[in-house]
């Protein structure tokens, strides 16, 4: 896991209270959106559970004794969803996948790796993609399997890959 550099707003108490003025609120939501993406990228996490938001330093700054409300977190998640950087895992929108790259971007990153490393025309397991020796230096190394699967589905829809299910494994064939 990487270390995150907290922005100046993180130590500013009003940052943790949704601002009423629309222009200020938009800037605040934009700053929170960037912070969420940076946090998830630095910590290599992908799942956000709204019920556990105060168990992480992201929405709970113990140093200034401030927590962001669940309603504000929901607004941030809705913004992330609109930009293609998050999607709910359940109908109640309590669990979310957060992507610091959109699924299309992840798909392109993975496909470029496959092309550069001679994997076009061959099959890779999802384990090889996310945990294999050939991907240790790649940004998608250690990425949540669900995110990788969704990214590969974008490649599948473009005719660049096909997801394969065999025994208890999942794989992908690149074209």
**Per-residue model confidence (pLDDT) at position 168:** 81
Whole-prediction pTM: 0.91
pLDDT (average), residues 146-174:
94
Q: What is the mean pLDDT of the chain?
A: 95
Q: What is the pLDDT of residues 58-103, one digit of tens each?
A: 999 999 999 999 999 999 999 999 999 999 999 999 999 999 999 9
* Inter-axis angle of helices 22-43 and 70-82, nearest 10: 80
Q: What per-residue confidence (pLDDT) applies to 3? A: 76
pLDDT digits (tens, 9 = 90+) for 93-140: 999 999 999 999 999 999 999 999 999 999 999 999 999 999 999 999
Kind and range of the H or E element at 171?
A: strand 169-174
Q: CB-based contacts of 26: which residues, under 8 Å, 6+ apart?
A: none
Q: Each residue of 5-54: pLDDT tens digit? A: 999 999 999 999 999 999 999 999 999 999 999 999 999 999 999 999 99
On the CB side of 115, how many CA atoms lie within 13 Å of its CA?
10
pLDDT the model gives residue 171? 94
């Amino acid at each position: 896991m990487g270390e995150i550099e907290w922005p100046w707003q993180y130590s500013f108490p009003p940052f943790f209270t949704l601002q009423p003025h629309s222009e200020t609120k938009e800037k605040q939501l934009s700053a929170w959106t960037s912070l969420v993406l940076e946090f998830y990228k630095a910590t290599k996490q992908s799942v956000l559970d709204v019920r556990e938001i105060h168990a992480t330093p992201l929405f709970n700054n113990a140093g200034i004794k401030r927590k962001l409300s669940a309603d504000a977190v929901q607004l941030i998640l809705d913004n992330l969803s609109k930009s293609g950087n998050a999607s709910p895992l359940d109908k109640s929108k309590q669990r979310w996948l957060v992507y610091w790259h959109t699924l299309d971007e992840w798909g392109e990153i993975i496909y470029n790796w496959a092309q550069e490393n001679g994997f076009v025309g061959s099959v890779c397991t999802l384990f090889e993609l996310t945990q294999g020796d050939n991907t240790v230096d790649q940004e998608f190394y250690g990425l949540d399997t669900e995110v990788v699967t969704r990214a590969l589905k974008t490649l599948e829809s473009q005719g660049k890959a096909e997801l394969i299910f065999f025994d208890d494994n999942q794989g992908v064939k690149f074209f």
